[in-house]
Amino acid sequence: MAETKRPKDDDAKKRRDEDAPTGKEEMFNLRSGGRRKFSVKELPRRTKVLGITAAAAAVLVALAMMAHDNGVLAISIILATFVIAAPQFLLIYERFREVKEMEEKFPVFLRDVIETLRSGMPLHTAITTASNFDYGKLSPEVKRMANHLSWGMPLGRVLDQFSTRVKGSKRILSSVKIIQESYNSGGDVASTLEAVSDNVTMLEEAQKERSAVLSQYVLLMYAISLIFIGIVVSINNLMMPIFKIAASTASAGGIIGISNPCNTCFAATCAICGFYEGTASLVFSVDPTGISAYYISLFFYMSLIQSVCSGLVAGQINDNSVRAGIKHSMILFAITFGTFLFLVRVGLLG
């Protein structure tokens, strides 16, 4: 007895036939498969920015080496590192914000596709129709899928490429995989899309609720950074007079006191001392030979490190991503830098 094919198998076969390469796609493959000349425009944006900033940093360090001053060289190395790292962090955070917006607009895109599917159109036509609507940062990706479909590229391949481009979002990636499985198996794609849309919306609402609950801990990280600066000021005002009196007593032949550690530096420690002296002289306009120069620079970099780490922790707490903490780190970095400049200027430090 001959086996009867199930309707779903017929639907799946029909969809696979629709996905078979057409003349347009063969032409597309021939065009894309040929050798092309390398162009700088094809490099990723982060790579271009890295090349430009690395060149600027190299010039900065080279100019500092001509000064033959360890302090100036140390400061130039720090500035060069900042010139290279800051744009990269900004680009990482910008990409994070783009992915977050895509995740917010993805359920809206799915609902528009569902409405088109229920009017009787196939999935590839529904995606092409949806490309006419605005989905924020997701719109370029939707239009790109529509363009590929218009060239005759199979839907499965279009979805695979879309998954590769948005691989930074696990939520969208898993949703697309579910849609592909439903489409290839001949299931009810409209019902699958509706379930995926509802689940993504539910996850987004849960994330917003979580962020609202944990926002108080973000404020706590800001408070910790400011409290740390307050402790630094207290230690400075309490200990620096003792250090100066003890050092002057020791130089006069009295008891041995606490002096500037950089007075007896050797080997690698002299490079650190030159770095601290350069910071005190160039940033805070403090006498680099005094004992206050060493401790101001030490407390300054301790506070900066603490601020950056607190910002990253705040991002992990609020958005469950360290990359989201780059924004908080930059804000705390600016607050700490400005606060130290103000405290040194009014005499509360040094």
Is the pLDDT at 202 greater than 80? The verdict is yes
Say how many Å lie between the first and final Cα of the chain, rounded.
97
Cβ atoms of residues 322 and 315 within 8 Å: yes
Q: What is the mean pLDDT of residues 52-69?
A: 85
Indicate the Cα dihedral angle 254, 256, 258, 262, nearest 10°: 110
Q: How confident is the model at residue 28 (pLDDT cuts 50, 70, 90)?
A: very low
Give the integer Cα–Cα distance in Å for 173 and 148.
19
293 pLDDT above the threshold of 50? yes
Give yes or no for residue 25 having a pLDDT over 50: no
Portion of the chain with pLDDT greater than 70, in percent:
80
Instruction: Please compute the mean of the pLDDT values over residues 16-39 and round it to a whole number.
Output: 47
Q: Over the range 243-282, which residues count as b (16 or more CB within 10 Å of their CB) and which as e? A: bbebbeeeeeeeeebebbebeeeeeeeeebbbbbbbbbbb
Query: What phi, psi does 335 have (nearest 5°)?
Result: -65, -45
State how far the Cα of 326 lies from the Cα of 94, in Å rounded to an integer.
10
Residue for token digits 């607190």?
Answer: 310
Among 78, 82, 80, 74, which residue's Cα sits nearest to residue 278? 74
Half-sphere exposure of 330 (CA within 13 A, CB side): 15
Contact 225, 310 (CB under 8 A): yes
For residue 1, the model assigns a pLDDT of 40
The tens digit of pLDDT for each residue in 238-291 reads 876 666 665 555 554 444 445 667 777 776 777 778 788 888 888 888 888 777
In this predicted structure, what is the pLDDT of residue 4? 43
Distance CA 166, CA 172 (A): 7
In percent, how much of the chain has pLDDT > 90?
A: 17
For the ranges 29-33, 65-69, 201-205, the lowest mean pLDDT is seen at: 29-33
pLDDT by residue (tens digit) across 118-136? 888 888 889 999 999 999 8
Question: How large is the average pLDDT for residues 333-338?
Answer: 92
Query: What's the token pair of residue 265?
Result: 């530096």
pLDDT of residue 306: 93
CA distance 316 to 161: 29
* pLDDT top residue among 24 and 226: 226
Highest mean pLDDT among 22-31, 143-152, 177-186, 266-275: 143-152
Tell me which range, 81-90, 307-316, 317-326, is most confidently predicted by mean pLDDT.
307-316
* Average pLDDT of span 181-204: 85
- DSSP helix/strand/coil, 120: coil
Residue type, 43: L
Q: What is the DSSP letter of 288?
A: T
Per-residue pLDDT at 60: 86
Say if CB 279 and CB 300 are below 8 A apart.
Answer: yes
